[in-house]
Structure 1
Amino acid sequence: MKGFSIASIPGDGVGKEVVPAAQRVLKAISDVHGGLSFEFTEFPYSCEYYLEHGKMMADDGLERLKEFDAIFLGAVGNSLLVPDHVSLWGLLIKIRREFEQVINIRPAKLLQGIRSPLANPNDFDLLVVRENSEGEYSTVGGKMYQNEDQIAIQNNVFSRRGTERAMRFAFEMAAKRKKHVTSATKSNGIVHSMPFWDEVFQCTANDYPEIAADSQHIDALAAFFVTQPERFDVIVASNLFGDILTDIGAAIMGSIGIAPAANINVNGKYPSMFEPVHGSAPDIIGKGIANPIGQIWTAKLMLDHFGEEELGSKLLDVIEDVLKSGFLTPDIGGTSTTKEVTDEIIKRLKSL
């Protein structure tokens, strides 16, 4: 039997509702599969933890987390309690950086059963590969002077190693899909980092002659996500550009509540972390209507990471079957609860 130990961090808000739901789905998969098991260990790291301890995680938190095969995260943040830059950098980004989770992948596709806000979505199915360790989200910079003279400087950092690593990952993913990679750039406006990005992309593309490659300026690319999403396969983007594009990807699917993500460690030294794109949704906490699809689809990405792609594909098929049958939470036009959607997914998994 293949057993996986998972560090579970429900986090804040609806994370505490959708993480247990997704864990129930993974338990059902292990029951059906027979040769697969998951052991979850829950950690209380969250904004509530911060209010009690003055920190987002325990001092030995990373030492404890690194012993697991993967981290399953729900949501981080409650700006009414803790400033967002404190909560994010104290937990989510801290784990990403310390565990060298240098790649972030976020798929977006037209799911059967969900009506896209686009008039003609044309069965889009795309994957954004986001550089996850540097770029615009560097910590280089600072503030100086006071009052009306105050200035803030934020430096973007693009290394050839980090940039090329993300691009090669994107080309490898495209080789398993529709064999097309699009680079998100802005070299007509950002005069140093983006021409450098373009240069590395062209050099990398030369090593993959069987993969079609093109570049799009980020503003045009964002528009094409809305007008022609079906034209894209794999998009490789910097930290900030990838973050923005994937929220658009979630929006054209129909709800940010269904969008999954994976933070991938590629060197095997540390666990990867799997999280939905959505936040803690403080407006619906405790109502039982949080959409569990984002967290459950995230579980599918974790199955893929563990080499269980066939099981992952079956899970996504079941998700779409359930959605087609009308089990929809309010954010996608339905009246079903978190539990009802989860129960139906489990029921259909067990009938496979």
Structure 2
Amino acid sequence: MPNTEPLTDSESLEAGRLAAVAYHHIPLVKFEPHEHQGMGNSYTFVAKYGDDTEAIIQLRDRPIDIAIVHLARTLLGDIVPNLVSLKATKTSYAYGQPKIPGDRWDPMTYLTVEDDTAVSVQFANILARCRLHLGSGTVVDDYVIPCMNSIINAVSAENEPFNYMPKDLVNAYLKRLTALRDRANHLRLLDLMLCHTDPNPFNVSHIFPSPLPLAQPLTPFILYQVIIDESFSPPKIVGLIDWEEAKFLPFGMNSSEIRMIAVLNIGGYDQVSEAAKSVAVAFWNTLVAGITDDHKSIVLDSMEIGYVIRYLDGFDGLEVSRAKREVEVYIERMNWFEETFRPLCLVSSLDGTKADPQ
């Protein structure tokens, strides 16, 4: 009977080992917790077998939609490890997949700018290959616009924490959000894509979902999930893991993470540099290479909306100083998106103007 309570270390090891034995017919020679362990009832282990193969074994309290992972693998090939379901003992679900050898990408730290640029280009190409030739109108109507409305409706001079912030800052914040929401309808002109995000995935059956869950935040594209092989020059992306919680969203909505890739944040403050801009521009040019010129500005809007839904859905419980800083950072980052990418977009044929970054 699966356990609904968190397991002890010995219980999780025992259950994980049983799953690992079922995963591969060769005897185990080593079994230990993964360095990036899950939370709650999610437990991740590394299994090594007598034939030197290694596997990732995961115990979970929620199921993985394996069809999502298989779709990602169909789109991208072997960089997405093949996930299989295993018999679970002490948790509700157990899964196994090959361990991809390599190093986790830590951009703008120890690699050269040239190497980080090359990896960013590969990353953008991978995201672009997740584009599906399906319309995104239903997702825009049932998810994107309601999410934006929910975030905007929470912004009021009478509501905490906004009633403690300078009115000029709140007004500038609200103006930016409203302008972006008003352009969100254009995202229906973009194709749907399989977005690598965390939690609350849309199932494959939700390609034309009705209804979609509303106001559920995206999470950042965690760079621990990008595996590179540094024996190549430049380094090569050889793995992109944890696809089980992906979503179907308009093209580009998870691409705002280029900001986190290109711009280091030290002590809570972004360190913008010319090197960051060169990495970001290379990423952008690859991402939109297959997009018509009149839709590139819409992709940028999609990136910015993805950022809003990910980072700004919920100020409840934040201290005023922290919430104020979140608003300031949002404006700073949106200015950076506009200054970096909008000049690379042609004037939109939808309204004949470029968006006002202010």
> Please, what TM-score do these two structures have when normalized by structure 2?
0.24
Rg larger in structure: 2
Answer 1 or 2: higher relative contact order, Cα 8 Å, separation at least 6: 1
